[in-house]
Amino acid sequence: MSNRRNARGPALVVHGAIARRRRVAGFVLAGAGLPVISVLLVATRDDVALGSILLVYLLGVVAVSAVGGMLPGLIAAVLSFGLANWFFTPPLHTLAVEGGDTLIELAVFAVAAVVVAATVELAARDRLRYQQDLDAQVARTRELAAEDRARTALLASVGHDLRTPLASTKAAVSSLRQTDVAWPDDARAQLLATIEDSTDRLARLVANLLDMTRLRSDAVTARVRPIALDEVLARTTLGEHRASVDTVIADDLPLVLVDPGLLERVVDNLVENAVRFSPAGTRVRIRAATGRSGVDLSIVDHGPGIPPERRDEVFAAFQRLDDRDAGSHVGLGLAIARGFTEAMGVDLSPSTTPGGGLTMTLRPPVAPQ
């Protein structure tokens, strides 16, 4: 689940320091360029010393190595050695060599050409390794910056979202503790309901924070098994939202492969989000039916919906798409839902509700018959 990677991982093994196109270009340059150099040098071989000619060939090897790397450079070195021997060392047009000095010059040229080709290749690999290290450091810096922003968002969100339920609980408890007031039964019941509602909000907030911690530390293990959706939906708490939700489950649905506990948390979070953004007087519908690819479990609301271009944003932690007061909403519910569904191998996708609103559709794998 985690997106973290070893910052130095890419630099441990470096393959393909020279791109394939560059290697091909190096081979072409060696095969075409060195013969052209030979033709030009043949016209001046009576006036130019062998050492100077070999330096020109060495320059060609450097050019080929710079373009194509070590292998084209080695080919260029061998080809240059052969061309120099064939055209410029007596006896001409043979591979024989007369004289110790000429042999030494050719040998030194061959060694120098091979060293140049290898050096260019190593330099290219070092350059790639340094670039990968730099990219890894940049990625790590961005990751740390994102983590810092997440911590800042967490503190700001939790501070904001703890305030309302704590203040409500404190006010209700203080009122009930007053000895000089005889609270009527209905007023006492209302204060107790306020305490219960605020406690539920705090419990959901803490549960979401713990769930997000588990997701970020890769501590979520999905134990999937075949189960009927109606059995899972019957166990979902839905909290105080139960009265605002209609559940419609088609008959004869196949069993699905899910972790029941994780799926319950996903449905609870999706329903809470749907109720939060639904207009007063409208109801949220949980609908389970056979879909095109198996079973579709949809949570349907008729709220403002989400523009298609912003739908990926709602699954980011601490994300809110408006500034409404949402009780214990720190923007974790949908992020947790996405994390749990990914852990189970369940697809979660948003779409527009016909007539307006948002539909979150879960597509769990169907259990083998």
Q: What tens digit of pLDDT does each residue of 45-82 get?
A: 777 787 788 888 888 888 888 787 778 888 888 888 88
Query: What does the alpha-carbon distance between residue 348 and residue 340 come to, in Å, rounded to a whole number?
Result: 10
Q: Could you give the domains of the chain?
A: 15-139 (no CATH), 225-363 (3.30.565.10)
pTM of this structure? 0.52
CA distances (Å), origin 188, targets 164, 175, 185, 194, 198: 20, 9, 5, 10, 15
pLDDT for 160? 66
* DSSP assignment string, 269-314: HHHHHHHHTSPTT--EEEEEEEETTEEEEEEE--SS---GGGTTGG
- At 281 the pLDDT is 84
User: What pLDDT shows up at residue 75?
Assistant: 84
> Peptide bond before 72: cis, by omega within 30 degrees of 0?
no
Q: What is the pLDDT of residue 317?
A: 66
Query: 276: which residues sit within 8 A by CB, 6+ positions away?
Result: 326, 327, 329
Give the per-residue pLDDT at 212: 78
Residue 77 in tokens: 């070195």
Low-confidence ranges of the chain (pLDDT < 70): 1-18, 97-100, 150, 153-154, 156-158, 160, 237-242, 317-331
CA distance 172 to 194: 7
